[in-house]
Amino acid sequence: MARKMLVDGELNQTNKEGAEYDFDLFVIGAGSGGVRAARFSANYGAKVGICELPFHPISSEVIGGVGGTCVIRGCVPKKILVYGATFGGEIEDARNYGWEVNEKLDFNWKKLLQKKTDEINRLNGIYKRLLSNASVKLLEGEGKIVGPNKVEVTQPDGTKLSYSAKHILIATGSRAHRPPIPGQELAITSDEALSLDDLPKHAVVFGGGYIAVEFASIWRGLGATVDLFYRKELPLRGFDDEMRAVVARNLEGRGIKLHPQTNLTELVKTDNGIKVITDHGGELIADVVLFATGRLPNTKRLNLEAVGVEIDKTGAVKVDEYSRTNIPSIWAVGDVTNRMNLTPVALMEGTCFAKTVFGGESSKPDYRNIPCAVFSIPPLSIVGLSEEEAIEQVNGDVLVFTSTFNPMKNTVSGRQEKTIMKLVVDAETDKVLGASMCGPDAPEIMQGIAVALKCGATKAQFDSTVGIHPSAAEEFVTMRSVSRRVTARGKAKTNL
């Protein structure tokens, strides 16, 4: 049964009463956001259809898979490889804990790759069952919009199916971007990096974001020589500057060679591998070059311009605060809108969409205090404002509390790698505006801190919380001394 849509307390009828449709909702894209929106809408009583490209670990314009980027070629397989890469350092650290480890350690890349593939196949099946259990009709094929209430699905054999829907949701995600330099076809993206037949001996990573830092850590942890090139002074643009410096120091400490403020200008195939040429005139030979230079929304083949759906210069679908496009019956969630490109955010947007359109509850996604993590080795995790953002946004002074220490585990293992934690506080209200940590288990710890910030916790409440001892996490409730006080719109200074 089709339902009326509630927005801002008023019923907004996007179609004439009594109109008949094949579906109340048709979703194009069965990734995290699309599956969430489809399932929750169906739970509200909507008749829902969803389409997705045929499954394959490496995506293209005509292959993809239920579960989307995160499950098949993103967060999940990446985290499995991070776990695998972390064991190398753990085994070395174990020596000083009494474990007699042979000098030569053997690593079987193909075994890890197969285990990763087995897991994404399992999750692909789980996502299909989630849709089936919610009575969502799943169609395999490429979807495009041919009218405000009409979609066309091209099946793998070329057969075209046409469906009408009261509401259409675009949830097609994004795809890796390749910089247009000579020889760019010799490079790989994160898709291929997760499915390489052989572990590289010497890898070049171009980019300074999450994906670049994470793959540099993975390959180095598995024994490869790694050179990381990026355009800025520090990696991870947009994160707290002090934490960026810590990550850079840790990457170097783990043996990754950093090349800040350096662009790649050309790749050349040679008998010995791929010759990498930089804008500083430098050259080196690598057997793998990874482009991790951002992602672009998947909208090119959706026929949006013909239907009149507005997109921005990157191809992202323009939406309002309810995820609705300029065409009243068409909506979009997830990376395809290029708002905050994180899997849990796509889940939130899909949930809010279902509540708004079919649940009778006007619901806007809340982008405040969203935690995130960079799974470098060791990882970085943050929630709330960085020091730089707080200085720009707060009217009064900003108090910064930091704690830098050698984790207990390292005192015995001998690893020279410090953990750093940070709280950013509004001096006038005592409210904690941001928290960050770089060190072992940072994402696990930060998820709990995120709850506190979501509840509006003050520094006094942090201070009054009893810590768990001995743990790294207790440092967040024992930072008593102000590291620095910064006047709003001043310049943040690090202790590094």
CATH number for the domain running over 179-292:
3.50.50.60
Dist. CA 245–CA 267, nearest whole Å? 29
Convert the pLDDT of each residue in 115-167 to its tens digit: 999 999 999 999 999 999 999 999 999 999 999 999 999 999 999 999 999 99
Dist. CA 267–CA 48, nearest whole Å? 47
Coil vs helix vs strand at 319: coil
Nearest in space to 214 (alpha carbons), one of 177, 186, 256:
256
Mean pLDDT for the stretch of residues 331-359: 98
Distances (CA, A) of 215 to 153, 374, 438: 35, 11, 17
Quick check: 18 pLDDT over 90? no
Mean pLDDT for the stretch of residues 478-487: 96
- Distance between terminal CA atoms of the chain? 61
18 is in an annotated binding site: no
Strand-pair partners of 152: 144, 162
Quick check: 297 pLDDT over 50? yes
CATH number for the domain running over 371-486:
3.30.390.30
pLDDT band at residue 12 under the 50/70/90 scheme: very low
Q: What is the pLDDT at residue 287?
A: 97
Q: What is the pLDDT at residue 103?
A: 79
Nearest in space to 351 (alpha carbons), one of 329, 120, 343, 164:
343
Mean pLDDT for the stretch of residues 288-315: 97
Q: What is the pLDDT at residue 384?
A: 98
Nearest in space to 354 (alpha carbons), one of 70, 48, 23, 12:
48
361 is in an annotated binding site: no
172 is in an annotated binding site: yes
Q: Which residues of 393-408 are buried (b: 16+ CB within 10 A; e: fewer)?
A: ebeeebbbbbbbeebe
Tokens of 159: 């057969």
At how many degrees (to 10) do helices 75-94 and 210-221 cross?
A: 40
Convert the pLDDT of each residue in 236-286 to its tens digit: 999 999 999 999 999 999 999 999 999 999 999 999 999 999 999 999 999
Tokens of 494: 């690090």
68 is in an annotated binding site: no
174 is in an annotated binding site: yes
Average pLDDT, the chain: 94
262 is in an annotated binding site: no
Quick check: 9 pLDDT over 50? no
Residues 6+ apart with CB under 8 A from 6: 12, 356, 360, 361, 362
Distances (CA, A) of 312 to 32, 59, 173: 23, 23, 15
Mean pLDDT for the stretch of residues 40-52: 98
Domains 23-176+296-359 and 371-486 alike in fold: no
Tokens of 153: 């699905």
212 is in an annotated binding site: yes
pLDDT band at residue 15 under the 50/70/90 scheme: very low
Nearest in space to 211 (alpha carbons), one of 234, 233, 189:
189
Mean pLDDT for the stretch of residues 278-306: 97
Residue with tokens 């054999």: 157
Quick check: 443 pLDDT over 70? yes
Quick check: 490 pLDDT over 60? no
- Select the CATH number that applies to the domain covering 23-176+296-359 from these four: 3.30.70.270, 3.90.226.10, 3.50.50.60, 3.40.50.1370: 3.50.50.60
Mean pLDDT for the stretch of residues 470-488: 95
Angle at 400 between CA 394 and CA 405, to 5 degrees: 155
Quick check: 4 pLDDT over 70? no
Dist. CA 28–CA 64, nearest whole Å? 12
Q: From the candidates 177, 202, 280, 469, which is the catalytic residue? A: 469
Q: Contact, 139 vs 157, CB < 8 A?
A: no
Strand-pair partners of 149: none
398 is in an annotated binding site: no
Can you list the pairs that 335-339 forms with residues at least 24 positions away whose Cβ atoms lie under 8 Å?
335/69, 335/173, 335/174, 335/295, 335/297, 335/298, 336/29, 336/170, 336/171, 336/172, 336/173, 336/174, 336/297, 336/298, 336/299, 337/297, 338/174, 338/297, 338/312, 338/314, 339/365, 339/367
Q: What is the pLDDT at residue 61?
A: 87
The number of beta carbons lying within 10 Å of the beta carbon of residue 447 is 13
Nearest in space to 172 (alpha carbons), one of 339, 41, 52:
52
Q: What is the pLDDT at residue 442?
A: 98
Domain ranges of the chain: 23-176+296-359, 179-292, 371-486
Dihedral (Cα; 103, 109, 113, 116), 10-degree rounding: 10
Q: Contact, 12 vs 356, CB < 8 A?
A: no
Question: Any catalytic annotation for residue 469?
Answer: yes
Q: What is the pLDDT at residue 104?
A: 80
pLDDT band at residue 19 under the 50/70/90 scheme: confident
Convert the pLDDT of each residue in 22-40 to its tens digit: 999 999 999 999 999 999 9
Convert the pLDDT of each residue in 315-333 to its tens digit: 999 999 999 999 999 999 9
Concatenated DSSP letters of 81-132:
HHHHHHHHHHHHHHGGGT----SS----HHHHHHHHHHHHHHHHHHHHHHHH
Nearest in space to 161 (alpha carbons), one of 186, 138, 143, 184:
143
Of 11 and 217, the structure prediction assigns the larger pLDDT to: 217
Q: What is the pLDDT at residue 453?
A: 98
Q: What is the pLDDT at residue 7?
A: 44
Mean pLDDT for the stretch of residues 8-22: 56
pLDDT band at residue 489 under the 50/70/90 scheme: low
8-state DSSP, 315: S
227 is in an annotated binding site: no
Dist. CA 177–CA 257, nearest whole Å? 24
At how many degrees (to 10) do helices 241-253 and 210-221 cross?
A: 20
pTM for the predicted model, two decimal places: 0.93
Q: Contact, 301 vs 313, CB < 8 A?
A: no
Q: What is the pLDDT at residue 8?
A: 38
